[in-house]
Structure 1
Amino acid sequence: MEILKTHSLTKTLKIFLLIFLGTVALTVSAKIKIPFYPVPMTMQTFVVLFLGLAFGYKIGLTTVGVYLLEGIIGIPVFSNSPEKGIGLVYFTGPTMGYLIGFLSAVFFAGYLNLKNNILIVFSKLIFSVSTIYIFGALWLGTLIGWDKPILALGVTPFLLAELFKICLLALLAKKIIEIRRFI
């Protein structure tokens, strides 16, 4: 019985550590801007999908949820915070839909069957990241008005960078999934 308690405590501590490290990785990925065409990119969506692949959908969802909660309560974890605000005010701004989309993306990426070939993995990652842009565009249109060119403002400038990140993840997916064995 004592061995079971020790094993359970060790596993719980490992999961808490993974969640903490995941939120740190998301924060760092939000703060670093990489020059890219047509707009600079962050590696946030890469990290969101990576967390799903590496941790699975349960721990991945928890990690992204904790990250969002950190931002909502005022910890400057989001991109452009604290420069453009913090907390709930920042969260409910133009990027809220994209941030909420992180939850669906990490879920679908964590649910991937990586026994499939690379084209199927690539397609599933495309689907996962697409949910970020669907939620983002829906919120952006609601916030700034549907008379504005929502796709040109909130989706199109990021597609080339997303394609690059998805290609990289698809190539590494089978190795990334091996991390799950240690959880």
Structure 2
Amino acid sequence: MSTTTASPIDQLWPTDRPALRNLALVLFGTLLLAASAKIQVPFWPVPMTMQTAIVVLIGMAYGWRLGAATVVAYLAEGAMGLPVFTGTPERGLGLAYMVGPTGGYLLGFVAAAAIAGWLVRSGQGLARISAAVVAGIATIFVLGVAWLSVLVGFENAVTHGVLPFLPSEIAKILLAIAAGVAMFRVRAKA
């Protein structure tokens, strides 16, 4: 696969009006993130959403800057009280939800999109895509556990905030790697 600093979206949707295109992409990305938060797939031991996979895919597709900006816009929608997060509005809305137990994971979304986009900026082979996906998702969990540890202690944070999600995260990592490889193959043909 080719190595280039252009993101797949830059190559697939070139434009002389990037601000308008980027606004459309941010809106699409926030809708995709909200949908991925609301759709739950039955999985053991906890139901699975596709959010972490979507976050890293947005980062890789849009590039690190636009990917992170998209996630920031998504968080801003949630901060304004829109029910875009998993479990909203039942578990609360707005900033109160964001500073609760999932706050670190939400913050990790921004870092994950940036890291995933940054790691594939100069190469899109299987190893680079795999590293981007794993590093992005690991970042979400590191920041999530750090935040949750303040609230419930480190051992409880790992027991309740990581271990139940490992099986579904492994599945999402594999799906995101496959989707990332397919995305960059399409881009290479464009």
Q: Which stretch shows the higher mean deviation, 60-69 or 106-115?
A: 106-115
Identity of matched residues, %? 40
1:57-72 alignment runs, 5 A limit: 57-72=64-79
List gaps (5 residues or longer) in structure 2: 1-14
User: d(CA) in 1 for partners of 2:187 and 2:38?
Assistant: 27
Change (3 A) 1:82 1:14: same
Q: Which stretch shows the higher mean deviation, 167-176 or 135-144?
A: 167-176
Give yes or no for the alignment of 1:140 onto 2:148.
yes
2:62 counterpart residue number: 55
Structure 1 runs of 4+ aligned residues shifted over 4 Å read 178-181
User: d(CA) in 2 for partners of 1:94 and 1:140?
Assistant: 6
Contact 1:84–1:90, Cα closer than 8 Å, also in 2: yes
1:25-64 alignment runs, 5 A limit: 25-64=32-71
Give yes or no for the alignment of 1:127 onto 2:122.
no
Residue in structure 1 matching 2:172, options 144, 165, 168: 165
Say what the alpha-carbon RMSD is for the aligned residues.
1.9
**Deviation of residue 124 (structure 1)?**
3.1
List gaps (5 residues or longer) in structure 1: 1-6
User: d(CA) in 1 for partners of 2:143 and 2:96?
Assistant: 18
**Deviation of residue 177 (structure 1)?**
3.7
Give yes or no for the alignment of 1:83 onto 2:94.
no
User: d(CA) in 2 for partners of 1:69 and 1:172?
Assistant: 27
Task: Return the TM-score normalized by structure 2.
Answer: 0.84
Which AA in structure 1 matches 2:23? F
User: d(CA) in 2 for partners of 1:44 and 1:103?
Assistant: 12
Contact 1:97–1:136, Cα closer than 8 Å, also in 2: yes
User: d(CA) in 2 for partners of 1:151 and 1:175?
Assistant: 33
Contact 2:117–2:132, Cα closer than 8 Å, also in 1: no
